[in-house]
Structure 1
Amino acid sequence: MDQQRRIVRPAELAKASHMRPGDPRITLLTEVSGLRKLERVYNEVGDRHGDDFVRVLLEQLGVHLEVDPDDLARVPKQGGVAFVANHPYGAVDGLALLHVLSGVRPDLKVMANFLLQQLEPLADSFIGVNPFEQLKVRSSFQGMRAALQHLGEGGALGVFPAGEVSSYRTELKAVADPRWKAPVIKLIRQAGVPVVPVWFDGSNSFLFHVLGMIHPDLRTLALPKEMLRMKGRKVRIRIGRPIPAAEVGAFTDTERLGRFLRAKTYALGSGVQVRREQFRPLRFPKEPKPIVDPPAQELLEQEVAGIEDLKVSTQGEFDLYLAPSER
Structure 2
Amino acid sequence: MGIEPMKIDVDKVLRERLSKRYKYIPRFVVRWLERTICQDRLNAILEKMAGKNSVDAATAALDEMGITLEATGLENLPQGRFMFVSNHPLGGLDGLALISLIGNHYNRQIKFLVNDLLWAVEPLRGVFLPVNKYGRQSREAATDIEAALKSDNQFITFPAGLCSRMQPDGTIADLTWQKAPVVQAVNYQRDIVPIFFDARNSRFFYRFAKWRKKLGIKFNIELIFLPKEMIKQSGSTLKIVIGQPIPYTDLEASKPKQEAARLRDIVYSMAPSPSKP
Q: What does residue range 1-327 of structure 1 map to in structure 2 within 5 Å?
A: 5-6=6-7, 23=22, 24=25, 25=29, 28-68=32-72, 71-78=73-80, 80-105=81-106, 106-131=108-133, 133-134=134-135, 137-139=136-138, 142-170=140-168, 172-215=169-212, 217-248=220-251, 250-270=252-272
| Structure 1 residue 12: Cα displacement | 8.0
Instruction: Flag the 1:214–1:39 CA change in 2: closer, same or farther, 3 A.
Output: farther
| Structure 1 residue 81: Cα displacement | 1.1
| Structure 1 residue 4: Cα displacement | 6.3
Greater CA drift, 143-152 or 84-93:
143-152
Instruction: State the identity %.
Output: 25
**Matched residue SS, 2:156:** strand
Which sections of structure 2, spanning at least 5 residues, go unmatched? Answer: 213-218
- TM-score w.r.t. the length of structure 2 is 0.81
| Structure 1 residue 59: Cα displacement | 1.3
Instruction: State the alpha-carbon separation in 1 of the partners of residues 258 and 14 from structure 2.
Output: 36
Instruction: State the alpha-carbon separation in 1 of the partners of residues 67 and 14 from structure 2.
Output: 25
| Structure 1 residue 8: Cα displacement | 8.1
| Structure 1 residue 104: Cα displacement | 2.6
For the Cα contact (< 8 Å) 2:5–2:50, is it kept in 1? no
Instruction: State the alpha-carbon separation in 1 of the partners of residues 58 and 150 from structure 2.
Output: 26
Instruction: Flag the 1:122–1:33 CA change in 2: closer, same or farther, 3 A.
Output: closer
Matched residues, number: 256
| Structure 1 residue 130: Cα displacement | 2.8
| Structure 1 residue 247: Cα displacement | 0.7
Instruction: State the alpha-carbon separation in 2 of the partners of residues 164 and 13 from structure 1.
Output: 25
For the Cα contact (< 8 Å) 2:183–2:253, is it kept in 1? no
Instruction: Flag the 1:60–1:31 CA change in 2: closer, same or farther, 3 A.
Output: same
Two-structure CA RMSD over aligned residues (Å): 2.7
1:147-199 CA deviation, whole Å, 9 max, x = no partner? 232121232100001101111112x4311000112344433333221000011
For the Cα contact (< 8 Å) 1:35–1:225, is it kept in 2? no
The letter for the 2-side match of 1:223 is: L
Instruction: State the alpha-carbon separation in 2 of the partners of residues 158 and 146 from structure 1.
Output: 14
For the Cα contact (< 8 Å) 1:87–1:93, is it kept in 2? yes
Instruction: State the alpha-carbon separation in 1 of the partners of residues 85 and 58 from structure 2.
Output: 20
Instruction: State the alpha-carbon separation in 1 of the partners of residues 77 and 151 from structure 2.
Output: 18
Instruction: State the alpha-carbon separation in 2 of the partners of residues 35 and 119 from structure 1.
Output: 13
Determine which structure has greater relative contact order: mean sequence separation of CA pairs < 8 Å that are 6+ residues apart, divided by chain length: 2
**Matched residue SS, 1:82:** strand
Instruction: State the alpha-carbon separation in 1 of the partners of residues 12 and 182 from structure 2.
Output: 31
**Matched residue SS, 2:79:** coil
State the match for 2:216 in structure 1: none
For the Cα contact (< 8 Å) 2:182–2:260, is it kept in 1? yes
- TM-score w.r.t. the length of structure 1 is 0.70
The letter for the 1-side match of 2:114 is: A
1:284-318 CA deviation, whole Å, 9 max, x = no partner? xxxxxxxxxxxxxxxxxxxxxxxxxxxxxxxxxxx
Instruction: State the alpha-carbon separation in 2 of the partners of residues 251 and 13 from structure 1.
Output: 47
